[in-house]
Amino acid sequence: MLAALGLEPAEEAVYRALLNRPSATAARLAELLELAEPDAATALARLEDVGLVNRDPTGAYRATPPAVGLGALITERRDSLRMAEHALVTLAEEHRAAVAGRTIGELIEVVTGVDAIRHRFLQLQQAARAQLRLFITAPFIAVPPGENTAETAAVERGIRFRAVLERAVLEQPGHVEETVDSLGRGVELRVVDELPMKLAIADADLALVPLAVAPGGEPGAVLLHRSGLLTAMEALFDAVWQRAHPLELSTVGAGRAQLAELATDAPTDLDRRIIALLLAGLTDQAVATQLDLSLRTLQRRLRHLMDTAGVRTRMQLSWYAVQNGWVGRA
């Protein structure tokens, strides 16, 4: 549990053992945890360095209270991450400035082979800071259904994740279940009969476009950096997204969830309840509490509704909802 703070399993075990007793020597801890005494001593030295244990006048070790010791470590780690985030912004700007002067060859990177494409696809999702946009078509070559581990991580860190599925994808074994899982995590999904290509876009910085290959040939893809071509890919995604049909979850017997396909501009019952509560003057947090939603899920739904209505503000959304019968005029 404390690996995120840089502690090894043996160090955590020693700290936990000390928390349960007033004090203990390295020899006693080694005996309790079935460790070699030098290993226990090494762990104690490391814990002492980070302020999680201290020695009393007899030479025995005592644990620093977690609220004090671990709290300080967490604050230090949080400050380090904040500094790293600031460095990321600076380096990203430097990279953009450098890219602006590159030749066409430097803005397009060719990726060859299944493993290399999979690696780049995962990296692209991990690099996103605000949003990810995908076209998903069959067949699956680099990342089969159920193996995109970066999707969950992206959604959990607050990335807006939108994907358009080609209808044939839902006919692939296991993909309906994966689609239901993705919707449950907060991924926004839409479906169309056909897509022109596979595509993955991270923010406005990177795009991965697989290349068509001859049967039996080695698959390839191009990684596009910020450029006019990447801007065209963004425009293509937005145009397809607007005409695609949203996929939502509906509940069937025994509380099981299944897919429901909506008309492009049709709000769900949940959407109507959200808008009604907002019109009643409730805050986002109050609406989320009333509907048993997370604040992030609520805000994701509102972004979706604003996209559907083609508006930019909550006030415009409220007006549109009333004028178009999404909620009662009363």
Predicted structure pTM score: 0.53
Report CA 61 to chain centroid distance, whole Å. Answer: 42
Separation in Å, CA 107 to CA 6, 119, 303: 38, 19, 31
pLDDT in tens, the chain (330 residues): 777 777 888 888 888 888 888 888 888 888 888 888 888 889 998 888 888 888 888 888 888 888 888 888 888 888 887 888 777 777 776 666 665 555 555 667 888 888 888 888 988 998 898 999 999 988 777 777 777 888 888 888 889 999 999 988 888 777 888 888 888 888 899 998 899 889 999 998 899 998 866 666 788 888 888 877 888 899 999 889 888 888 887 655 445 556 666 655 667 778 888 999 988 888 999 998 888 888 888 888 888 888 888 788 888 888 888 887 887 644
Return the SS3 of 266: coil
Residue 112 parent element (H or E): strand 108-112
State the residue for tokens 């099981």.
256
CA-nearest of 285, 305, 303 to 295 is 285
End-to-end CA separation in angstroms for the chain: 52
